[in-house]
Amino acid sequence: MKVNLSALERAARTNKNEGAVIGLETVARRDDNRKDNFESFKCYKDPNDTTTTSRLVKIYHFDNESPEELLIFLEKLEDVQEGTGATTGPELYTTAKHVLKGMALTTFNNAAAQNGNETVTNYKKCIEALKKGVFPTRAARRQKQAMNGMRKPRHWTMRQYAARMTHLANQLKSYPKDGQRPNPKFADDELIQCVENNLPNGYKRFMQAHGYYSVDHDMSDFVSFVEERIEPTDTKEEAKPKAASNKKNRRDKDEQAKKPNKRQKAEFYCKHHGANHSHNTEDCRHLKFNKNNGNGKQKYDKEEVHVLIQQTADKAARDAVKRTNAAWKKRLRAKDSHLMDDVSSSISKLDLDESSVDSEYSA
C-alpha cells in the first residue's frame, strides 16, 4: 500500500538540492510494464483522418508521484489529447480521468465538482488544482531561488549541465500559479549568468584570465567555449580533503600515552595512564593537578598510598647503599693513610750513612 506524502515531501523525494522543487538529477523512467499500470492510445498525425500515420502512445497512471513526474505526465497527456482529437470539454475530462488514479483522481474530481460544467476553461482549472495538490506552495519562486545555487556536478559535462538548467528554467511556466502573480522566469542573460556562477572556480578563473564575458554571448556559444577551451584540461577529479594537522595538543598526547605503541615496549608506568612512553606516576601532570581536594590538604586513595610507600622504600634502600659505600671508602682511605704513616716511621728509624753505603759498594 502506498503512503500518501505531503506535497513538500513528494517534492524532496527525488531532489538532492536543498530547497529545490525539482533537482538537477532527472527522475528515473518508469519501467513497470504491467497492463494495469498504464494506458495505450492510438494517435494520428491528423486526428480527423484515420488513414494518416499513426503511433501508439503509452501513459503510466499518475497517483502520488513527484512534481517533475506530474509535468512529464501532463505533457504526454496533452500529446494524447491532440493525437486523438480530444478538443471539447467532456472529451478532455474523460481522457484525464482515464489515466489518473488514487489521490490525483480524487483531487481532480473534487475540483471538477466545484467548477461545474465540463468546459475547456473548467478543465484547465482542474489541472491547476491538481498541480497545487502535488507542488509545494510558492513552488516557482522557490525553484528559481534554488537554481541560483545548483552547482555543476564534477562528473557532468558542460553541455549536459547547461541543457538541464535550461530545461528547469523552461519548466517554470508550467508550475502552479501563486495567486494572481505570474510565475517568475529566467531572462536569457540571467540564465547564462546563473550557469556561470555555478561553474567550478577553475572555470571562472580561466574565463576571467582570457577576458571572456558570458553575458556577451548566447548559451550555445558559451557552452562551445567551455567545451573547447576549458573541459579538455579538466581532470574531473574531486577536490581532496585537507591533510590533518600534525600538531597535537596536551589532550591528544595524554590519549596517546594511554595507548602505547604495540611495536615498542613501554618504558614508563603511570598509575593513571598505565604503561606509556612519556612519564612515571610521580611526573604525571594529571595526578599532580588532582592532588589537592580543595582545602589545601592532600588526599590519597589506597593505590596512591601503596605507590608512595613503595617509592619511599626504594628511596630508603638507595640511600642506605650510598651510605654504606661512603663508609667503606672512608675506611679504605683511613687504612691507606695509616699504612703510609707506618712506612714513614720505619724508614726514619733506620740510621744509615750515605757515605758509608757508597764506600761499601765502591770497595
pLDDT averaged over 10-residue windows placed end to end, the chain, 363 residues: 46 56 80 73 86 87 89 91 89 92 92 92 92 91 91 92 93 87 87 92 91 90 92 65 56 59 68 80 78 55 74 86 84 74 64 51 48
Q: Look at the chain and report how many structural domains it folds into.
A: 3
Note the pLDDT of residue 3: 41
Asked whether residue 211 falls in the same domain as residue 279, the answer is: no
Asked if residue 30 lies in contact with residue 73, where contact means CB atoms within 8 angstroms, the answer is no
Residue 343 lies in a domain: no
Asked whether residue 67 falls in the same domain as residue 116, the answer is: yes
Asked whether residue 37 falls in the same domain as residue 92, the answer is: yes
Note the pLDDT of residue 156: 92
Residue 238 lies in a domain: no
Residue 71 lies in a domain: yes
Residue 347 lies in a domain: no
End residue of a domain, out of 85, 101, 136: 136
Asked whether residue 260 falls in the same domain as residue 287, the answer is: yes
Residue 13 lies in a domain: no
Asked whether residue 36 falls in the same domain as residue 128, the answer is: yes
End residue of a domain, out of 85, 106, 136: 136
Asked whether residue 126 falls in the same domain as residue 157, the answer is: no
Pairing of the two strands 268-270 and 38-44: unpaired
Residue 7 lies in a domain: no
Asked whether residue 218 falls in the same domain as residue 165, the answer is: yes
Residue 228 lies in a domain: yes
Asked whether residue 257 falls in the same domain as residue 220, the answer is: no
Grid coordinates representing 68 are 517533475
Note the pLDDT of residue 354: 52
Domain encompassing residue 295: 253-337
| Integer Cα distance of 339 and 87 in angstroms | 140
Residue 200 lies in a domain: yes
| Integer Cα distance of 69 and 21 in angstroms | 12
End residue of a domain, out of 233, 265, 298: 233
Note the pLDDT of residue 349: 60
Asked whether residue 132 falls in the same domain as residue 145, the answer is: no
